[in-house]
Structure 1
Amino acid sequence: MQMQTPKVMWISLSLSLLFFTACADNAPAGKATRNVDPTAALTAQVQKNATAEAAAVSEGAEQQVSGGGRENPNFLNGIDDKNRGDKVGKVQFSGSIQNRTGKLYLLETEGRNVAAIDSVTLVNGKFDFGSVEVGRGFYGLGFEPTKKTGEIIMNPDEPVLKIDFQNARLISGGTDSQENQGWFAYRGAEGANKNQVRQLYKQGKGQEEETKRKVKLKEDELAQTQHKFIRDYPGTYLAKFLTWKQPRFIGDKGTFLSDLDVSDNSLIRSMALPDRIQSMMRTFSGGKDSGFLSCIDLVKASCEENPIVLEFVLYNMLDGFYNTGKETICQYILDNYIFDEDCGANLSDVIRQRAQGIINLRVGNTPPSFRISDVNGKTVDLSEEVAKNKYTLVMFWASWCHKCEQEIPNLVPMYNDLNPKGFGVIGISVDQQKAAWTKAIADNQIPWSNVSQLKGWDAPITDDYKITQTPTYFLLDNQGKIVLKPERWFEIQRYLQSRL
């Protein structure tokens, strides 16, 4: 399967690491600003001593604590009276982006989910959002209302924020903001560390134990990097966020989330909590449904005192399990925690509406309809198409998807054979370039209707259908209900043989 690279979408708990490997292919007014180079910050401040510190940590003993957990030697508490809890207030936000025109959007984040809260027009590369009311946390910046290009920290403790971005990638720039000086530098350090880990895995095939040892050292190095930034930027949201990166207690799922203050709403304006839950699932579930259910119950119990955080984690888990094909686990969350009359009593209608979006994509239900232009500019209406056929296959694909290249040669003759009997197909491309899309249609001699919004993974239709990989199939009956969600073409053929 062709997997989507990380996209801006509703908070998706990336549990895919647990299940399968797919085929390939983030200040006071009046002061002058100064440039911050994250690579230089890493080299000068962190990398020279991180390895030695990490080795010392690895050799140190872990202290046993009550409940079966152990003190994590990589944990450092950077939460104090200054940054504890959430804080809502006004921030005057302005800056510049070299060689850029058009609209700039400020996006509120909840994990991976983003929503535009304001927009301005860049004038000679400068922008000014004026005074914006925000809570502590990460906010996105982008050139489209639903797409995050860069990420910044906004904190009412810094009521004036000015950033002069180096370029339209929005990953670094000149600023007097302590929060963002630290964030730009840390992000560079973390990126370098993760690249090194990827290289270790790539080069370590057949040497699993040695690779595991080296990766652990890199993980410990990253923890020491986090410690340095916690010490260098005390009292900031960044210090708190980096504290959340490491659990205080390890080795026992009952205490794995115990260091998190779930009354702090700023938890949801970062990926720290979703990442912690993902780590919990990976460490303690054993990859079994019973293990996942046990972890889910603990997460719910840990977060239920704050309905805002509870909704955040419930949908996180629901979305993540759906995206990895664990629909029975999704049903458990829906039945026991979202739509249950007792457990779901304090939840808002918003999470139920979001959950309904997943329910609609299950077999027996009706997925979202759509009207999208085909290669010739003609509008294709799903509801009209399904009414014409006994069965209609909705196929998400892409010109660059190698798995699609293997499936299409089998689907074409099947379509030609079964189309006269009432079988239709609508291809939905997640391409961005029309030329590549139309060439793939011609090269593969695809006879069925093909539509695309030409926005890649950011296309609204991919959000509606929660598409994270290609190909993805939905087989609909003539009432528009899903009757099959196959993974391969021959499953479709087998289903239709006895029905057409």
Structure 2
Amino acid sequence: MSFFYFYKMKKTALILFGFVSALLSAQFHISITAKEGFAPKEVYLFTTNGSKDMLVTKLSKTNDQWSFKYPGQYMGMMKAYFPEINYSLNFISENRDVNIKLDTQGSRVSEVLYIDESNKMMDLVQDFQRKQQTILPVLYQMKEFYKPSSAFSQAMDKEISVLTGKLPDVSKYPFITYYTNNYSKFLGKPSTQSGVSQSEIIQFISHSNEMLETSTLLRPVLQDYLSTAVNTEVAVENLLKAVNLETPRGQTVLSELIEIFDTYSMTELKDKYLAEAKNLKCTINDRLASTIKTNDAVALGATFENYVFSKPVKTQARSLYEVKADKKVIVFWSSTCSHCETELPKFIPYYSQMKAKNIEIVGLSLDVDKASYDSKANHYPWINDTELRGWNSTFAEKYNVRATPTYYILDKNNKIIAKPDHIADVLENLGLK
């Protein structure tokens, strides 16, 4: 072969190497700017893995701005969380610079302005989808009460025509294209009306690219898959066989399923697949390892990890371990939870008997509104505390809280001796019923 041939091959290889290196080292900037005087100083940046927020970094404000250079490639949903005001801001990355401005009043965000092209388009698309889901059904109903020839009816026809039209062209945005196409197919309608078969969902989950994990679509698609299954266990087995539990995708799906079963109190299925996760002989990805660890931390017989109180009421104790009792009932609740509203007041007639047996109740609230929390916490005679961060509260993840109310019963050494489902089970376990 000629020297010229080898020269061309070498040159091509160098070009390809340079192109691949550029891709692997891709970086983009994230910039969030607020008005002068916006009180919060710190922001947490997260990427997405299935239904989980994955912490990337914590940033401090400099000249009313938070700025970060993402060290590699990322296409998908992201979140900025301001812990001082319990405010979350969602945006996307298309491997391009992100630029967001906040219109603020004091410590309150009044408007989010997306400056970069990708987030402008995503905001437009999501606004269009929201209008389709909320306004369009109302317009159809209202049309029945007006004559077709009336000016108002014709105006509604015009708006219906707009909302039933096509979405803006997003073909130049890979992530937005992926998100909108699959959202429309799998989640745009109720699962019973979508026309998507179980095999199509399995195909989508098992063969989709890595944007499935970063899109937030995985959890709701799995929930729809389970809700339309004739036999849940058979459906799960078919899915897990297709995704292969020795792959990162398979392990993330397994992690999501365990958490879904936990949320809906499907205890037998949760325990079965948690055991299957623990018995895997291959390398476990971070997502599944986290699910296993969190569940082990709150298993029967485990020592309940200590929690340092924020601003507790009805106690001088500074932490959970400083509350001395022969038994403790830990209750995760919220003032806006209807089941809590029904169950928690039923403790009150038994509370004096509990105190006589040296049993204490410790409530940890997932509230966000202080006035709403105070109205309930001050009414209940037992210990209560809250971070006023809702599901962003540190104890939600720490203690594997998937719903409210959630109960744990601890012995005097803070070991978990029971995990009752309802207040009747709590009282029976304590010998009060």
Q: Shared fold (TM-score greater than 0.5)? A: yes
Residue 491 of structure 1 is matched in structure 2 by 425
Q: Does 1:293 align with 2:233?
A: yes
Q: Structure 2: how far apart are the matches of 1:392 and 1:305? A: 39
Aligned residues: 380
Residue 174 of structure 2 is matched in structure 1 by 236
Higher mean alpha-carbon deviation, 325-334 vs 423-432, is at 423-432
Question: CA, structure 1 residues 169+392, in 2 after alignment: closer, same or farther (shift >3 Å)?
Answer: same
Give the deviation of 1:300 after TM superposition. Answer: 1.9
Query: 339, 358, 363: which is aligned to 1:422?
Result: 358
Higher mean alpha-carbon deviation, 273-282 vs 405-414, is at 405-414
Of structures 1 and 2, the larger Rg is shown by 2
Residue 268 of structure 1 is matched in structure 2 by 213
Q: How much identity, in percent, do the aligned residues show?
A: 17
Provide the aligned C-alpha RMSD in A: 3.8
Q: Structure 2: how far apart are the matches of 1:188 and 1:131? A: 27
Aligned partners of 1:371 and 1:379 also within 8 Å: no
Give the deviation of 1:414 after TM superposition. Answer: 1.1
Q: Structure 2: how far apart are the matches of 1:192 and 1:162? A: 25
Q: Structure 2: how far apart are the matches of 1:247 and 1:441? A: 42
TM-score by length of structure 1 reads 0.65
Aligned partners of 1:396 and 1:428 also within 8 Å: yes
**Correspondences of 1:337-416 after superposition (within 5 Å):** 338-342=277-281, 345-348=282-285, 351-373=288-310, 374-375=312-313, 378-385=316-323, 388-389=325-326, 391-416=327-352
Query: 408, 413, 423: which is aligned to 1:474?
Result: 408
Q: Structure 1: how far apart are the matches of 2:305 and 2:100? A: 41
Deviations 1:156-208 (A, max 9, x none): 3x3x443445557597525342x2222011111222233348979x99xxxxx
Structure 2 unaligned residues grouped into runs of 5+: 1-22, 143-160, 188-193
If asked which structure has higher relative contact order (CA below 8 Å, sep 6+), I would say 1
State the SS of the aligned residue for 2:351: helix
Q: Structure 2: how far apart are the matches of 1:148 and 1:255? A: 37
Deviations 1:99-140 (A, max 9, x none): 535233332221332233234444554443245423211111
Residue 154 of structure 1 is matched in structure 2 by 93
Deviations 1:370-390 (A, max 9, x none): 23242278334434546x31x
Q: Structure 2: how far apart are the matches of 1:482 and 1:497? A: 17
Q: Structure 1: how far apart are the matches of 2:354 and 2:369? A: 31
Query: 350, 367, 389: which is aligned to 1:455?
Result: 389
Q: Structure 1: how far apart are the matches of 2:255 and 2:203? A: 20
Question: CA, structure 1 residues 301+95, in 2 after alignment: closer, same or farther (shift >3 Å)?
Answer: same
Aligned partners of 2:255 and 2:287 also within 8 Å: no
Question: CA, structure 1 residues 238+88, in 2 after alignment: closer, same or farther (shift >3 Å)?
Answer: farther
Q: Structure 1: how far apart are the matches of 2:411 and 2:215? A: 41
State the SS of the aligned residue for 1:257: helix
Residue 5 of structure 2 is matched in structure 1 by none
Aligned partners of 2:27 and 2:69 also within 8 Å: no
State the SS of the aligned residue for 1:134: coil
Question: CA, structure 1 residues 296+145, in 2 after alignment: closer, same or farther (shift >3 Å)?
Answer: farther
What amino acid does structure 1 have at the position aligned with 2:349?
P
Structure 1 unaligned residues grouped into runs of 5+: 1-85, 204-220
Residue 282 of structure 1 is matched in structure 2 by 227
Residue 96 of structure 1 is matched in structure 2 by 33
TM-score by length of structure 2 reads 0.74
**Correspondences of 1:67-146 after superposition (within 5 Å):** 89-98=26-35, 100-101=38-39, 102-130=41-69, 132-144=71-83
